[in-house]
A and B are shown apart, each in its own frame.
Chain A
């Protein structure tokens, strides 16, 4: 697929003679990440096949598939924010506690103060952004290493949560809030969404082709783009069909899918996204190029806080209660998901999709081993080993390339 990548020399002016198979194949870096993605998908397939075999297919039933996706949604939301934090060369250890705190606040506002749901959500999301910015300010402007800021937050936020809830579980939360964690879309809405997504896909591809024509850039052959659109279309339909075969698309999964789209868009299409990668790859060079690197970091932490708030809301809704232990070790799951998903430890590279597949790997292990009644201690040992193995494979393949 990329045989022509190396042969095209751009030494002549205006020599835009493209690789015959289209400009996308020239995106060598993207290719590497695609291979990485492929390896991840193969890993998932192996894990799923193993559990399906052990559970006589029970693992792959629509019901369990739905469960699995709901289980990963909380970690996935955190991983969406965390992947940017890690790409920018930082880390945030406070997200588990912050998730718990914001979920607890949501429960307290709902159960004790009977705050209307929209206001409640607005308050919690706003609070999340503020606390995230607070963390970011300590890291970017006051130059306390983010590891320490996170460690401090991990203790302090959990402490505040215990104080706010008095160490008690706050229940029962209102129906409306619970819907965000336990609700399903009706099959009709699901089908409609699938159709809308497919239409969007067609539209984006068409727009891209138009733009490239407008600027005189090389175009991929039409059949290629068409095949791509159809392949994605089949994927979308299969996904919705399976979920509709149970109760429909779970609301948390829908939220996660929207986040995947938004965060991928931010990473690939926006100025802010490009700067996240630049800051993580070489902060000094980026600063000397006239980028406000502190501002970029501040915004990344703000976004992380927002994701904690969202994850906290969904978590409270899922359990229909605010628990003082909510989100315990959540930060480690999120960080592990990012690293399994191929995010570079030294910053500068990584993808949102990778991080979510990483979260799916973790959730699959959890879910499958629970189905097999594996002892908790074994589950922890297996998850820990998989994390180290995954990163080792990444390190080996990286060093082999240079």
Chain B
């Protein structure tokens, strides 16, 4: 299909982009287009204005900012996946990014685009929540920072106002942590039915700290706090981890669809959490 007609802008700075979002009617941000283009082509949406932020240089790349990494919103997944800083300090991000769709999508799709899209089945939101990332947002009145836990508000809905732009994401360094992203789907390019993001810091044989995020277990990514608490101080053994992982579905409200009902998803959350944590502990 051919999208309905729209006005198309290609700002070269964040300020320009924000001004366009403020001034142009019914504007939508194009940040790689891997989700927006199909929606436009299917005519499920017909915004009057498209603001393509693909040519804003300051939104690109990964940089070291002391105790955190800063990932530009328009950094393609393929760049994030291959970035050595990310590999060293936020390995969970590398691993989850590597599971997104297929190579073509990972070359066009962007880190910030994927987060701002806030698809409950998207892979990066749970990672951002698990790692306590913070989101730097530019708007007409300047910049503000929102914690990952507050950024995701619902299905395809975030703390971003209509005239705001996600600029960069700050990911605290998890140097030396083990990480694993356990994704469950039926074919390789499919969204997650359920996935679990886990990062673990070991102290000897026991778990000193744990971060666990759940993908597609509700309308927003979910931090499995009960699992995290149950893991701390326990040995990284199958038995101990199984016990903690049994709590994974606590407080979740997953959807029922062709790929499984809510009960099945809750069951998966616990199985996948066990596997993710054990793998993460093994990779530390």
A binds B: no
Q: CB within 8 Å of A: which residues of B? A: none
